Amino acid sequence: MKRFEGKGVLVTGAASGIGHATVTRLLDEGATVVGLDLAEQSPDTGGYTYHRGDILDAGAVGAAVAAVVAGAGRLDAVVHAAGVAGGGPVHLLPDEEWDRVINVNLKGTFVVARAALTQMLQQDRVGGERGAIVTLSSVEGLEGTAGGSSYNAAKGGVVVLTKNLAIDYGPSGIRANAVCPGFIETPLFDSVVGMPGMEQAREGLRYEHKLRRFGQAGEVAAVAAFLVSSDASFVSGQAIAVDGGYTAGRDHHVTDLLGLGGP
């Protein structure tokens, strides 16, 4: 029996990057999946139900939750991967850009969590649980990065909001965890570090991942799938870095001096 057979899951940001990799992973493991994204359509529509909608639109989010329940009988899990990039030095940041990044990344998490929790609280416990929620924060929600400002503030907020979900709803049998990816090769990543003039910064970011590479969307999806599965039944309130060692500490090229820099 596949791990998610008979389970209903909502994935936001489903059309690309980590969200799409999560959809693929969950489908492979037998889940009934509804995806939500702003894109006109998913790159492949087979195997799951795709809804086009804005995570800031409570009606669209509610409809996606209802679609999961219609297909699977209940909402067992949510992986909230939708988000946008943004930031810049605070003294140069217009109000509207600050609001855009905070609204999508932080308020959007609130809107999706509210809809999910409203449904999960109505459900009977299965295996002791009513549901599980995974939010996507970032290593930039755990520590600062130059120019991060609004993005870092939003992702830091996602971490603490997720911990509060774990506190408030744990007694009701609902788990909540945040995944904090390092720099992952996705369209969102490319839209920032792929810009002209970012070559040196890109190499510096790659080097600070102790595995000396960027991550892949499927590597994050694997952790998200674990966290919404029964294998993680005693894991809640955590901010789990999936970052190739990025947040382990600074290197400052000392490993090279020690002859440990690798081939």
- Catalytic residue positions, numbered: 151
Q: How many CB atoms lie within 10 A of CB 248?
A: 12
Give the distance from CA 125 to its chain's centroid. 25
Say how far apart CA 151 and CA 141 lie, in whole Å: 8
Question: Within 13 A of 104's CA, how many CA atoms are on the CB side?
Answer: 21
Q: Where are the alpha helices (DSSP H) in 126-252?
A: 149-169, 187-193, 199-208, 217-228
Secondary structure in 3-state letters for 8-58: EEEEECCCCHHHHHHHHHHHHCCCEEEEEECCCCCCCCCCCEEEECCCCCH
Tokens of 183: 């720099």
Backbone angles phi, psi at 182, to 5 degrees: -75, -150
